[in-house]
């Protein structure tokens, strides 16, 4: 199995190095090949997504991505900015399903802004459709309003749309993910107001017939936002469109209070995927050896589970992470009095050791 390793810029190379160490400890014979992306791609080849990097990502069975977006490249024109690399990879690899777990380890319950009893032990998975919805729908633009009380004035407009096949494929990903967990799925929509999301609800309900072992319920997005803050632990897997998912997944991430702990996956129709921490390139701490590598290590675990068919190895990594947290090891972003402050490499080493 071939894994494309794309460290990126900023803290990307530091955190990826730890994840690679962990993968090398598993005793599997992965072929890992790395290539520059983002600011590193621009520095090496004059483009954030060099051709050879894209080719490597296309040929690999999975992609492990660090982060991109160092401030150094802020003055470049938009098409050369590091962030274009991630958009280009999503588009070229057809990554339409974004899986964002929000897990709050009991040891870190103090990091959340919510009461420990509301969030301690939280373990939910939000699945966001990533390539459709109002973010990509045409037509869009600014025009002269054709009707209504503001007729004749300038107006901005976008188009929300979802094709049946687009909804079906994300629904399949969601039901299958639910089968690997607690067999409960909540589909989030706004069917009471939006035609697109009444259609979404109908299609998800239809796909459900193929997954009778999963319990499905539907929830309006405004209520879902309330419940996420009120009683987040009652969810297991949530699936929703691009825009609602953008907002709900960021809100859910913040329930855990620690951006350095959250992995993510973006999958295509064949479970090939790109795996990356939910955070960015953290230019403020890049090169200091203090970045938390756990989100990236946990992303590698997701890669083993969802793309490489190695669920037991994913469990091993996740258990090793729990073990180092139980040992009291903390990078500065999750440090609390009474625990032991460690740097990026020490944290990576500790996970390697905990793998036994
Ligand atoms: P960020 O996630 O890079 O950083 C936000 C804050 O969290 C910073 O204070 C940072 O030091 C801290 N942080 C992030 N990851 C951490 C880790 N592993 N350990 C400890 N602390 C950590 O978000 P920000 O500052 O908004 O963006 C910085 C750059 O990253 C921007 O250029 C942005 O476009 C890019 N970005 C890239 C993403 C990607 O590569 N997929 C995703 C989000 C942002
Ligand atoms: Mg967002």
Residue 238 CA to ligand 2 centre (angstroms): 16
Q: Is the CB of 291 under 6 A from ligand 1?
A: yes
Is 145 a pocket residue for ligand 1 (Cβ < 6 Å)? no
Structural class in CATH, domain 123-255: alpha beta
Residue 78 pLDDT > 90? no
Percentage with pLDDT > 70 across the chain: 100
Instruction: Quick: pLDDT tens for 102-161.
Output: 999 888 888 888 998 899 889 999 999 999 999 989 999 999 999 999 999 999 999 999
222 labelled binding-site residue? yes
Residue 286 annotated in ligand binding:
yes
Ligand 1 contacts CB of residue 349 (under 6 A) = no
Residue nearest to atom 10 of ligand 1 (CA): 282
Q: Mind telling me the catalytic residues?
A: 135, 190, 222, 246, 250
pLDDT tens across 23-76, in order?
Answer: 999 999 999 999 999 999 999 999 999 999 999 999 999 999 999 999 899 899
**CB 178 less than 6 A from any atom of ligand 1:** no
Residue 293 alpha carbon, nearest atom of ligand 1: 18
What was the pLDDT predicted at 222? 98
For the entire predicted model, the pTM comes to 0.91
Indicate where the chain has its CATH 3.40.718.10 domain(s).
1-98+263-356, 123-255
Shortest-distance Cα residue to atom 1 of ligand 1 = 280
User: 41-61: b or e for each residue (b if 16 or more CB lie within 10 Å)?
Assistant: bbeeeebbbbeebbebbeebb
- pLDDT tens digits for 228-271? 999 999 999 999 999 999 999 989 988 887 889 999 999 998 88
Kindly state if the Cβ of 260 falls inside 6 Å of ligand 1.
yes
What pLDDT score does 112 carry?
Answer: 85
Q: What is the ipTM of this complex?
A: 0.96
Interhelix angle 344-354/311-326, nearest 10 degrees: 120
Given a contact cutoff of 8 angstroms between Cβ atoms, the answer to whether 127 and 239 are in contact is yes
Identify which ligand lies nearest to the alpha carbon of 247: 2
Cα separation values, 145 from 134, 156, 211, Å: 19, 9, 45
**CATH number for the 1-98+263-356 domain, one of 3.40.50.1100, 3.90.76.10, 3.40.718.10, 3.30.2130.10?**
3.40.718.10
63 burial level (CB within 10 Å; 0-12, 13-18, 19+):
buried
The per-residue pLDDT for 269 is: 85
Is the CB of 286 inside a 6 Å radius of any atom of ligand 1? no
Please say if the pLDDT value at position 3 is more than 90: yes
Ligand 1 atom 36: residue of nearest CA: 280
For residues 305 and 240, give the distance between their C-alpha atoms in angstroms, rounded to a whole number. Answer: 22
If you average pLDDT over every residue of the chain, what do you get? 95
Determine if residue 192 is labeled as part of a ligand binding site: no
- Give 109's contacts (C-beta < 8 A, 6+ positions apart): 116, 119, 120
Per-residue pLDDT tens for 189-202?
999 999 999 999 99
H or E element at residue 157: strand 154-157
- The minimum-distance atom of ligand 1 relative to the CA of 8 is 40
Pick the residue whose CA is nearest to atom 34 on ligand 1: 69
Residue 284 CB partners (closer than 8 Å, separation 6+): none
The reply, when asked if residue 281 is annotated as ligand binding, is yes
Average pLDDT over residues 276-305: 96
Pairing of strands 141-144, 123-129: unpaired
């Amino acid at each position: 199995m071939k894994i494309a390793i794309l460290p990126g810029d900023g803290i990307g190379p530091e955190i990826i190095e730890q994840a690679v160490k962990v993968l090398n400890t598993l005793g599997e014979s992965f072929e890992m090949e790395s290539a520059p992306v983002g600011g590193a791609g621009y520095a090496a080849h004059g483009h954030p997504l060099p051709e050879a990097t894209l080719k490597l990502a296309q040929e690999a069975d999975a992609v492990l991505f660090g982060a991109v977006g160092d401030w150094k490249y802020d003055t470049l024109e938009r098409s050369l900015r590091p962030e274009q690399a991630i958009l280009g990879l999503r588009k070229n690899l057809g990554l339409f399903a974004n899986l964002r777990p929000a897990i709050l380890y009991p040891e870190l319950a103090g990091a959340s802004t919510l009461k420990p009893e509301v969030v301690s032990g939280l373990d939910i998975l939000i699945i966001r459709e990533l390539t459709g919805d109002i973010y990509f729908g045409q037509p869009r633009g600014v025009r002269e309003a054709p009707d209504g009380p503001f007729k004749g004035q300038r107006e901005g407009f976008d188009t929300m749309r979802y094709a049946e096949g687009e909804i079906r494929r994300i629904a399949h990903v969601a039901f299958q993910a639910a089968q690997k967990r607690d067999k409960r799925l909540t589909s989030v929509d706004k069917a009471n107001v939006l035609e697109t999301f009444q259609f979404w609800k109908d299609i998800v309900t239809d796909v459900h017939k193929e997954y009778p072992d999963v319990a499905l319920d539907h929830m309006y997005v405004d209520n879902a936002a309330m419940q996420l803050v009120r009683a987040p632990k009652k969810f297991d897997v949530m699936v929703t469109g691009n825009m609602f998912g953008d907002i709900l997944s960021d809100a859910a991430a913040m329930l855990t209070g620690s951006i350095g702990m959250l992995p993510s996956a973006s999958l295509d129709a064949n479970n090939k995927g790109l795996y990356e921490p939910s955070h960015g390139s953290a230019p403020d701490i890049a090169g200091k050896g203090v970045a938390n590598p756990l989100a990236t290590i946990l992303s590698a675990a997701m890669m083993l589970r969802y793309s490489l068919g190695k669920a037991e190895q994913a469990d091993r990594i996740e258990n090793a992470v729990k073990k180092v947290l139980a040992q009291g090891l903390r990078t500065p972003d999750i440090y609390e009095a009474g625990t032991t402050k460690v740097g990026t490499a020490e944290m990576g080493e500790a996970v390697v050791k905990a793998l036994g």
